[in-house]
Amino acid sequence: MEAVVKFTNQSQGRDRVFRTTQYACSLLIYLLRNKSEGRDLVAKLQQLETNMRAGRKLFRLGNAVNSIVAAKQTVHLPDRVLRLCLTVANFSRALYFLCDNVVWARGVGLVRNIDKERWSVNASRFYFYSLVMHLTRDAYVIFLLMVKKSRDEQFKHKLNQHVNESCDVAEAVIPELDTFVFLLLETLKSHPAVALDTVKNICDLFIPLDRLGFYKTNAGVVGFCGLMSSLMGIVTLAHPALRIKP
């Protein structure tokens, strides 16, 4: 099992590059769809997108094991909320990878007597569950950090300065809302790893929402959100300090 985990960790970088290319192609195809002079380019981009998607499915073989190992680790976290969110997220992600592997096997002809569309929808459903739990974790961590910062004497002084400088605005809107937004922004500014993970998960959320029909957008929005989250994933992979923990 350790060998599988090591292999999947090594393939993460290639998967991120493939994912970035895939969603960049999706976005460009959407932007060029109505331009007659770009038909040849669109056809090439569609082929490249298909190849990138197929390549990513191959790289994800074995990732279910990685997610199960991660779930076995998070189940021992002392914080109950983090333990619940991350364990459920990891198990959901493992089921997502299992369904995705079945779709890949059906696509290459290794198995035949399955409903490819049904397994694909199930994969999107488990991916959605995983993202929801990750976002719940993000919200919980942000809440804890905001409570901690609100008790900091240095921040209280900075908050008083902000209130004094924006007293005219504060009279026009809800003062409590202004204070909350200021506290939230200062907290995210002080913890870029949390901010990056939250934005990344929000961007990713549009992909299964569109696929499952919960919130239909268009290929342009999905391509843009997928591209942004992929770039953030590359940043966190290149700079581990920007990766949220646990």
Q: What is the pLDDT of residue 108?
A: 82
Q: What is the pLDDT of residue 111?
A: 86
* pLDDT digits 0-9 by tens, 160-175: 887 676 665 445 456 6
* Domain spans, the chain: 2-151+191-242
From CA 24, how far away is CA 46, in angstroms rounded? 11
From CA 20, how far away is CA 40, in angstroms rounded? 22
The model's pTM is 0.90
Q: Name the percent of the chain lying above pLDDT 90.
A: 63
Q: What is the b/e burial string over 193-231, where b = at least 16 CB atoms within 10 angstroms of the residue's CB? A: bbbbbbebbebbbbbbbbbeeeeeeeeebbbbbbbbbbb
**Local structure of residue 76 (DSSP, 8 states):** T
- Is residue 6 pLDDT above 80, yes or no? no
Q: What dihedral do alpha carbons 168, 174, 179, 183 form, nearest 10°?
A: -120
| Residue bearing the bigger pLDDT, 5 or 47 | 47
From CA 1, how far away is CA 241, in angstroms rounded? 27
Q: What angle do CA 12, 16, 18 make, to 5 degrees?
A: 115
* pLDDT digits 0-9 by tens, 206-231: 999 999 999 999 999 999 999 999 99
- Is residue 80 pLDDT above 90, yes or no? yes
Q: What is the pLDDT of residue 231?
A: 95
Q: What is the b/e burial string over 69-85, where b = at least 16 CB atoms within 10 angstroms of the residue's CB? A: bbbeebeeeeeeebebb
Q: What is the pLDDT of residue 172?
A: 44
From CA 26, how far away is CA 50, in angstroms rounded? 10
* pLDDT digits 0-9 by tens, 32-49: 988 877 789 999 999 999
- Is residue 11 pLDDT above 80, yes or no? no
Residue 21's pLDDT band (cuts 50, 70, 90): very high
